[in-house]
Structure 1
Amino acid sequence: MTMSSPEVTSVAWGHMTVKGCSSTYKDCKVWPGGSRTWDWRETGTEHHPGVQPADLQEVLDKGAKVLVIGRGMNMALQVPASTLDCVAKRGVDVRVLQTEQAVAEYNALARQGIKVGGVFHSTC
């Protein structure tokens, strides 16, 4: 059975909700079939140098064929070229956008039935 990517139903400063999940997230990861909090402490992520390959591993392992990264409302979160290279080496299309734009892109892809995953930062 193919799992669809859940819709991100709302995004505002410091708050995100995902369809089928009772939790409210500050930062979140979504993938075909699920979602969870994106806890930067797990990988030591900071705004600089930014998103690390380890932040994306879980979403890629869950079967995402396209990955959307939300850099924050003011795009303060960096995404190093080395991280993008790691994703590209797995044959996954990656899109990096301001978070509200990233959520819109993610939801559009999910509605098309594409196995899309995302990591979204909802503040700065």
Structure 2
Amino acid sequence: MKPSPRITHISWGRMVVDGVGEGKDFKLYPGGGRPWDWNETGTRHSPGIQPADVTELLEHGSQVVVLSRGMDLVLQTCPETIDMLNDRGVQVVVEETRAAVERYNALTATTPVGGLFHSTC
């Protein structure tokens, strides 16, 4: 399995991901990633990250999923999302964005990890 791409820069409203590019929000998983468009699933800060948001990460083989809460911890995660990941035996990490990036990058060397990253609020 190909490794997950590393995040090389994070600041308010801007991320840079190896092999994926630059943007504001990202979905990352083993072998690649793409910009995270909240409109695809109707995601909003509340109730937050939905099961449909993480499905693509699982389809790409993520065994650990890192979910960021935003720089100011505004982004929530639906309880159903955590339940779905737990039911599938997937380890879940929910952190403030900078901490989430650190945790995710540390895992990329050894673990099939996926993540959702929100670089503002």
- In the TM superposition, 1:36-55 aligns within 5 A as 36-55=34-53
Taking the aligned partners of 2:16 and 2:61, their CA distance within structure 1 comes to 21
CA deviation after TM superposition for structure 1 residue 20, in Å: 1.6
Q: Which runs of 5+ in 2 are unaligned?
A: none
Q: Deviations over 1:29-88 (max 9, x none)?
A: 100000100000000000011000000100111000000001100010001222100111
Alignment correspondent of 1:117: 114
Runs of 4+ in 1 over 4 A off after TM superposition: none
Match of 2:24 among 26, 32, 39: 26
Alignment correspondent of 2:99: 101
Taking the aligned partners of 1:119 and 1:17, their CA distance within structure 2 comes to 14
Taking the aligned partners of 1:98 and 1:62, their CA distance within structure 2 comes to 24
Alignment correspondent of 1:17: 16
Taking the aligned partners of 2:78 and 2:41, their CA distance within structure 1 comes to 15
Alignment correspondent of 2:90: 92
Taking the aligned partners of 1:53 and 1:103, their CA distance within structure 2 comes to 21
Normalised by the length of structure 1, the TM-score is 0.95
The share of aligned pairs that are identical, in percent, is: 50
The number of equivalent residue pairs is 121
Taking the aligned partners of 1:102 and 1:5, their CA distance within structure 2 comes to 14
Taking the aligned partners of 1:52 and 1:20, their CA distance within structure 2 comes to 26
CA RMSD of aligned residues (A): 0.8
Letter of the 1:116 counterpart: V
Taking the aligned partners of 2:4 and 2:66, their CA distance within structure 1 comes to 12
Taking the aligned partners of 1:58 and 1:9, their CA distance within structure 2 comes to 22
Taking the aligned partners of 1:61 and 1:26, their CA distance within structure 2 comes to 23
CA deviation after TM superposition for structure 1 residue 106, in Å: 0.2
CA deviation after TM superposition for structure 1 residue 28, in Å: 0.3
Q: Which runs of 5+ in 1 are unaligned?
A: none
